[in-house]
């Protein structure tokens, strides 16, 4: 419900004609998450080097990666059975953008990456031990909070086209830091829902291609979490 590409409604729109007879499993899905992470990191490394070395195409890496990744996500929203091909493509394209952004904020990038994987691990432990449960109320609350953040970011983007900025929240002051901390928390809470939906998909014995789609959905949250942590670290450094 919270992650726009990976929610309970996702499971009601499955094309079973693509079912090869094999079904989704948690272990195989996590393996595919690892594959996507490897592609993302490899692509990021190339982009990072390209930006620092001053390649002529370097200025285009961020918009090309973001737009390409967005197009993959939009297509996957309607053609989930294409996930085995488009999920790796998404990771490759997003890696180009992530690597370039990380190179710009290189003094915080490795710390942000470490914190991101640390948060993912902690949230996995909290989920598996039942300390945090993906109840209906929890999912609705996280979805509402995520939607509010999305609308605020869209408003910021639209106003930015007219050279208007929303004060405080994107700056390095106390309000901006608190805002980023809240967004990081919301992104982390989305991980709980992603873990739950992966297990739910395996329980429902969804078609095998949904492993790639589920891995893609988790990747969207992880990338969002990383960027928000990177932004928070940059704000803290400006104080």
Q: Give the predicted TM-score (pTM) of the model.
A: 0.90
Average pLDDT over the chain, rounded to an integer? 90
Q: How far apart are CA 59 and CA 51, in angstroms?
A: 8
Q: Which residues contact 134 (CB under 8 A, 6 or more apart)?
A: 127, 192, 193, 195, 196
pLDDT digits (tens, 9 = 90+) for 13-63: 666 555 567 899 999 999 999 999 999 999 999 999 998 888 878 789 999
Each residue's pLDDT tens digit, 129-177: 999 999 999 999 999 999 999 999 989 889 888 888 777 787 878 899 9
Q: Is 23 left (phi over 0), alpha (psi -120 to 50) or beta?
A: beta
């Amino acid at each position: 419900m919270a992650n726009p590409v990976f929610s309970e409604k996702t499971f009601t729109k499955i094309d079973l004609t693509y079912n090869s007879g094999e079904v989704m499993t948690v272990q195989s899905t996590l393996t595919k998450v690892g594959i996507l992470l490897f592609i993302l990191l490899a692509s990021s490394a190339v982009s990072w080097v390209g930006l620092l070395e001053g390649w002529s195409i370097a200025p285009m890496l961020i918009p090309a990666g973001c737009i390409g990744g967005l197009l993959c996500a939009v297509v996957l929203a309607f053609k989930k059975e294409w996930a085995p091909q488009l999920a790796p493509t998404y990771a490759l394209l997003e890696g180009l953008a992530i690597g370039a952004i990380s190179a710009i904020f290189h003094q915080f990038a490795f710390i942000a990456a470490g914190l991101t994987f640390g948060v993912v691990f902690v949230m996995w432990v909290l989920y598996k031990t039942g300390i945090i449960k993906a109840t209906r109320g929890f999912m609705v609350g996280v979805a509402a909070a995520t939607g509010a953040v999305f609308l605020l970011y869209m408003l910021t983007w639209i106003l930015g086209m007219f050279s208007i900025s929303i004060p405080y929240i994107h700056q390095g002051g106390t309000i901006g830091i608190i805002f980023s901390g809240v967004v990081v928390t919301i992104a982390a809470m989305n991980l709980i829902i992603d873990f739950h939906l992966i297990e739910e998909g395996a329980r429902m014995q969804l078609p095998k291609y949904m492993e790639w789609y589920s891995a893609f959905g988790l990747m969207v949250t992880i990338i969002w979490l990383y960027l928000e942590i990177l932004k928070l670290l940059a704000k803290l450094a400006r104080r």
